[in-house]
């Protein structure tokens, strides 16, 4: 009975995934690449690509510009410090998920925890977030190790002037 139940559940989940993938995607320029590729072994953060994305007036998928801004900000503050960039990007991805979960609860307070999680991840954040940000950064495997507020405070200490300059630049 358990085997049959699992097959039925898997079939239902597969149909749900098909429906999720039917959502319209946010078009992105060819050759834009993934943020995670910049952090892959041998990859290098490209501030030019980051600036292009951040200045693009076209919308992007959920959490994309926020994660890129986190990477770009860190590059300005501490160029070459990949550890710090991962901390900030992971924090941004976690913040995006947290916001999606809050929005799911506001969407319908009668959702069960499983329904709220599904709405948050697959309707609000959407497949592009999951495929282009969450999983390329190895999901919770990486996010559980990076992006702790205490760690970010530690790595930012002594770099406040650079952060203030960046904020002023972005305000122009």
Per-residue pLDDT band at 29 (split at 50, 70, 90):
confident
What does each C-alpha distance from 88 to 1, 22, 46, 107 come to in angstroms? 46, 31, 16, 28
Structurally, how many domains does the chain consist of? 1
pLDDT digits (tens, 9 = 90+) for 42-89: 567 888 888 888 998 989 999 999 999 999 988 888 888 888 888 888
Q: Which of 1-15, 27-41, 45-59, 153-167 has the highest mean pLDDT?
A: 45-59
| 1 has pLDDT over 50 | no
Classify residue 40 by its DSSP letter. S
pTM metric for this prediction: 0.77
Q: Which of 103, 98, 78, 100 is nearest to 88 (CA)?
A: 78
| 115 has pLDDT over 90 | yes
Q: Which of 2-6, 64-68, 78-82, 116-120 has the lowest mean pLDDT?
A: 2-6
Q: Which of 57, 25, 161, 143 is nearest to 92 (CA)?
A: 143
Domain of residue 81: give its range: 2-171
Mean residue pLDDT of the chain comes to 82
Residue 144's pLDDT is 67
């Amino acid at each position: 009975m358990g085997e049959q139940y699992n097959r039925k559940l898997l079939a239902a989940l597969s149909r749900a995934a098909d429906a999720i993938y039917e959502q319209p995607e946010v078009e992105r320029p060819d050759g834009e690449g993934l943020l995670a590729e910049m952090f892959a072994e041998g990859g290098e953060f490209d501030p030019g690509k980051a600036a292009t994305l951040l200045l693009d007036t076209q919308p992007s998928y959920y959490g994309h510009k926020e994660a890129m801004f986190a990477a770009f900000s860190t590059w300005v503050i501490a160029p070459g410090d990949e550890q710090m960039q991962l901390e900030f990007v992971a924090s941004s991805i976690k913040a995006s998920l947290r916001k999606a979960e809050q929005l799911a609860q506001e969407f319908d307070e009668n959702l069960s925890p499983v329904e709220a999680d599904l709405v948050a991840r697959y309707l609000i954040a959407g497949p592009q977030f999951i495929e282009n940000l969450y999983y390329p950064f190895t999901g919770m495997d990486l996010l559980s190790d990076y992006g702790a507020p205490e760690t970010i405070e530690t790595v930012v200490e002594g770099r406040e002037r650079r952060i203030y300059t960046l904020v002023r630049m972005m305000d122009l």
